[in-house]
Amino acid sequence: MTNENEKVYTGSVAIVGRPNVGKSTLLNAILGEKVSITSKKPQTTRQRVLGVKTEGPYQAIYLDTPGFHKNTPRRLNRAMNRTVISVLHEADLVIFVVDCRRWTEEDELVLTRLKQQEQPVILVMNKVDTAGDKLQLLPTIEEWSKKMDFLAVVPISALKENNVAELEKVINEHLPEGPHIFAADDLTDNTDKFMAAELIREKLMRLLGEEVPYSITVQIEKFEDSETLIRIAALIWVEKDGQKAIVIGHKGEMLKKVGQLAREEMEDLFEKKVFLHLWVKVKSGWSDDDHLLRHLGYADR
């Protein structure tokens, strides 16, 4: 709660970086709730995901983004990169997330883009829990801090939630003064349909092999919400017949497992019984189809 005479601060904070550096894990750690799906595979996040953290006079509106990547062979990849650029234009503050163990060409690509922006940038060196001797990080921190005039350099472990509170402190100190946009208890603008589709896709990303998940998207065909039950019908699009067979699995076992895991998490999220029906269809080249990409929300979310 804030009194009428107390100053309040509100700002949008873009979370950017190359694929698979832990951007979505960081957002979930900050919010203390899961609003963005995660997996060990790059490009799990495909659209902008908004999360709100309000603490007293401070309201930070976080914008989780797809991994900014170098190779963009499909329209879907290019749409994801455009999403990152769009979010950068609207942000008041930028969190640039990198893996503390290595600096890559794609990190350099993100850095080049950030140097074209005017917003202040915080360099977040993630995954310090995997780095072994923390003292060995000090030369790396010193070296990377010279790559740009960063507002701050903050080493963290998003997975273990180490030093995340210190990062939030830096963020709050640099939010612009202005009225809160969201209610104090708002967490995200995700719709239930969006979360249902994302949870299904998350299970597919986690359970399937290396190549198939990138050729998959999920479309909610029916979402009927009653007082005690939600009925969901979801269509899983793949690009090849062989991918369809893999998603379904031997005697339907893979699809059944995906459905079970997604349904269980939906029931926890929605706090009611969920009836989930999944089926799989082949749409060759869906990830290069502008009309279908717009229909699936990749162009305008």
Ranges for all domains in the chain classified under CATH 3.30.300.20: 192-295
pLDDT of 297 above 90:
no
The pLDDT score that the predictor gives to residue 167 is 98
- Weakest-pLDDT range from 31-35, 85-89, 209-213, 268-272: 209-213
pLDDT of 1 above 60:
no
The pLDDT score that the predictor gives to residue 24 is 97
User: 9-173: CATH homologous superfamily?
Assistant: P-loop containing nucleotide triphosphate hydrolases (3.40.50.300)
- Please state, rounded to an integer, the average pLDDT across all residues of the chain: 93
The pLDDT score that the predictor gives to residue 4 is 63
3-state helix vs strand vs coil in the chain, percent to 5: 40, 25, 35
Ranges for all domains in the chain classified under CATH 3.40.50.300: 9-173
Q: CA nearest 60: which of 182, 159, 189?
A: 182
Share of the chain above pLDDT 90, in %: 82
The pLDDT score that the predictor gives to residue 301 is 45
Q: What CATH number should be reported for the domain whose range is 192-295?
A: 3.30.300.20
Longest pairwise C-alpha distance within the chain: 65
pLDDT of 25 above 70:
yes
Q: Is 83 exposed, middle or buried (0-12, 13-18, 19+ CB in 10 A)?
A: buried
In the sheet with 229-238, reading across from the earlier edge strand, the strands are: 217-225, 229-238, 273-282
The pLDDT score that the predictor gives to residue 269 is 96
pTM for the model: 0.93
The pLDDT score that the predictor gives to residue 251 is 96
For residue range 275-289, what is the model confidence (pLDDT) as tens digits? Answer: 999 999 999 999 898
Query: Which two tokens mark 36?
Result: 């963005």
Mean pLDDT (whole number) for 22-31: 98
Which of the residue ranges 2-6, 47-51, 297-301 has the most confident prediction, judged by mean pLDDT?
Answer: 47-51
In the sheet with 58-64, reading across from the earlier edge strand, the strands are: 49-55, 58-64, 9-16, 93-99, 121-126, 152-155
The pLDDT score that the predictor gives to residue 293 is 86
Other C-beta atoms lying within 10 Å of the C-beta of residue 206: 16
The pLDDT score that the predictor gives to residue 230 is 98
Q: CA nearest 92: which of 189, 184, 178?
A: 178
| Separation of alpha carbons 52 and 59, rounded Å | 7
| Separation of alpha carbons 155 and 158, rounded Å | 10
